[in-house]
Amino acid sequence: MLAMAVPGLASAQAGDGKPPSTFGPVIGNALLCRDQLDNLYFYNWLKTAFGPPYKHEGGAYWFRTGEASLWGAPVTEVMVSDDTSELVFLAAVAEVPPDQLEQAVRSQAGIRHLAADASSYPLRVSNPGSTIAYYNNKSKIYCAKFKPLPPRP
């Protein structure tokens, strides 16, 4: 049903190693904090596109993404928050160092991620709120927001 509701997702075969054609616009825009974050939506989208998560750890469901890439950088995993945190987030692991990922995002999406401090391994933060962090010799890019308040009874 979700595949019918999301154009381009129906053509993806979960587990075939190829991301759906909408991977960049859907996941990329959410990682850049250009979209609303709804962890149930992204969980269902990722499950439909890549099959069930391979682990549930650290307040997130982890999905392997096969041959996916964003902004020209290979992306091996995407994580979406579960409901145990006061934050809702979407994150991805890119197989390039943070400075290369920042340059790729800036050149293709026009969003700069500036170093938050002068340390050897600074977080890089954009105006919309996305963050690029060191993750061993790779990068992790994420968007995290506080969950909206539930409706009043």
Cβ contacts of residue 81 below 8 Å, gap of 6+? 39, 59, 60, 87, 88, 89, 90, 144
Q: Answer whether residue 140 shows pLDDT above 60.
A: yes
Q: Which pLDDT value is given to residue 3?
A: 47
By the 10 Å C-beta count (0-12 exposed, 13-18 middle, 19+ buried), 44 is classed as: middle
Chain position carrying tokens 């982890």: 62
By the 10 Å C-beta count (0-12 exposed, 13-18 middle, 19+ buried), 107 is classed as: exposed
Q: Answer whether residue 11 shows pLDDT above 60.
A: no
The full set of domain ranges for the chain reads 14-146
Pairwise CA distance, residues 3 & 11, whole Å: 8
pLDDT tier for residue 15 given thresholds of 50, 70 and 90: low
pLDDT tens figures, 52-102 = 999 999 999 999 999 999 999 999 999 999 989 889 999 999 999 999 999
Q: Which pLDDT value is given to residue 86?
A: 86
Instruction: Output the pTM of the full model.
Output: 0.85
